[in-house]
Amino acid sequence: MPKRRDILAIVLIVLPWTLLITVWHQSAITPLLAARKCKGHSSNSPCRGFYDDRHESRRDSRNAFTLKEPCTSENTKDIVEVVRTEYVYSRQPPWSDVLPTLHVITPTYSRPVQKAELTRLANTFLHVPNLHWILVEDSQRRTLLVTRLLQETGLNYTHLNVETPRNYKLRGDMRDPRIPRGTMQRNLALRWLRETFSPNNSNSQPGIVYFADDDNTYSLDLFEEMRSTRKVSVWPVAFVGGLRYESPKVNTLGKVYGWKTVFDPNRPFAIDMAGFAVNLRLILFKPQAYFKLRGVKGGYQESSLLRELVTLSDLEPKAANCTKVIYGWDSKWTDKRQAPGKQDQGEIYIYCNTTVKGVRQPYCLLQAVHSYVSIQA
């Protein structure tokens, strides 16, 4: 019966192979099955410790990456990967004892876009190690909106408030000096720093102070550039003063000798609030240095603080000797100061507070700035 013999031979060849493939396939999927089973287990199963730790670590950012023994040692790799992707973006980096702390001071006031602006800032700050956010509300009391937002971010923060008196808020005409925006709030934060940290305590962690308005966008590089500030560091800022960027002028020896700006380049420090950072020790050693409240012309607020702290030759240029524009965008610049759609055509508009036949003219074309437009922001 040759036919039967053939069938037997085929069975004897195929059967061992089938068994072999089945066993091999089973061993490949077992860890994944074990992981799924583990998830569905009741609370008194042996897997409980691991999954509870996972939820616990969502609540406690400091434990975000400390996972305990999972169900079996075999499945560790698969599970750890899943856990990381779940919450790595919602947690700030671990605190380091060696990096200087960045004390970021932000004045803020109530308006429809406030929550959106603060959310954008918080999302940026979550990427920066050792950041302490000092948020100062321009209000009679700390609002629930800001309190909740700060609590939910998981950032290290200090929440303060001081209200700018109403009559100070009205912008007078050009001859009438006014209180610049956010000044009282920044000064309160400086006072808080001086009351909290002592200049003589050499053990305290070094710090850098930076003024970050709530309507700006900050590149992450910027925070690492400023971290090494010894006295006052400076860099170019994009989209301010009606330009694509303003910048300190730096000579071949790496010293600042002037300012690339169109708006009043004769200011002692013709720089935007977002363009400099100060070492905390300097703030502590010069307790009289505050932003001036009265008699400050528009654009002179930064100078009023900086002239109390340093001279031009002390400035430390960052961002590759100020050849890189590493920060960008004041959202108001697009809203109000730049005619919509014009930037694409290579035309730069500067805000000018003029009135023609009784109608306020918000934009005027400024040809002179074209020579600056070669560096890309």
The region of 44-52, 93-101, 210-218, 351-359 touching ligand UGA under the rule CB under 6 A is 210-218
The region of 23-31, 67-75, 102-110, 317-325 touching ligand UGA under the rule CB under 6 A is 102-110
Residue 164 binds which of ligand UGA, Mn ion, none (CB < 5-8 A, kind-dependent): ligand UGA
Residue 169 binds which of ligand UGA, Mn ion, none (CB < 5-8 A, kind-dependent): ligand UGA
For 19-72, give the DSSP string. Answer: HHHHHHHHHHHHHHHHHHHHHH--TTSTTHHHHHHHHHHHH-GGGTT-----S-
161 three-state secondary structure = strand
Q: Is 109 in the site for ligand UGA (CB under 6 A)?
A: yes
Residue 109 binds which of ligand UGA, Mn ion, none (CB < 5-8 A, kind-dependent): ligand UGA
Nearer of residues 61 and 185 to ligand UGA, judged by Cβ: 185
The region of 6-14, 166-174, 196-204, 208-216 touching Mn ion under the rule CB under 5 A is 208-216
The region of 212-220, 246-254, 292-300, 342-350 touching Mn ion under the rule CB under 5 A is 212-220
Amino acid at 313: S
Residue closest to 35 by CA, chosen among 20, 19, 47, 44: 47
**Crossing angle, helix 48-59 and helix 76-87, to 10 degrees?**
20
Query: How far is 84 from 166, CA to CA, in rounded Å?
Result: 49
Q: Choose which of 330, 338, 348, 351 interacts with ligand UGA (CB under 6 A).
A: 330
Q: 176 CB contacts (<8 Å, ≥6 apart)? A: none
Q: Choose which of 117, 137, 214, 215 interacts with Mn ion (CB under 5 A).
A: 215
Q: Is 302 in the site for Mn ion (CB under 5 A)?
A: no
Residue 46 binds which of Mn ion, ligand UGA, none (CB < 5-8 A, kind-dependent): none
66-71: Cβ within 8 A, 24+ apart: 70/38, 71/34, 71/35, 71/38, 71/46, 71/47
| Residue 299 CB, nearest approach to ligand UGA (Å) | 7
Query: How far is 181 from 296, CA to CA, in rounded Å?
Result: 12
Q: 63 CB contacts (<8 Å, ≥6 apart)? A: 56, 57
Q: Is 272 in the site for Mn ion (CB under 5 A)?
A: no
Paired strand residues for 346: none
Residues 317-346, interacting with Mn ion (CB under 5 A) = 330, 332
| Residues classed as catalytic | 302
Q: Which two tokens stand for residue 130?
A: 């050792």
Locus of tokens 């408030």: 161
Total residues contacting ligand UGA by CB under 6 A comes to 20
Residues 137-176, interacting with ligand UGA (CB under 6 A) = 138, 164, 169
Residue 241 binds which of Mn ion, ligand UGA, none (CB < 5-8 A, kind-dependent): none
Q: Are strands 316-317 and 327-330 parallel, antiparallel or unpaired?
A: unpaired
Residue ranges that bind ligand UGA, judged by CB under 6 A: 106-109, 138, 164, 169, 180-182, 185, 213-215, 272-273, 298, 301, 330, 332
Binding site for Mn ion (CB under 5 A): 213, 215, 330, 332
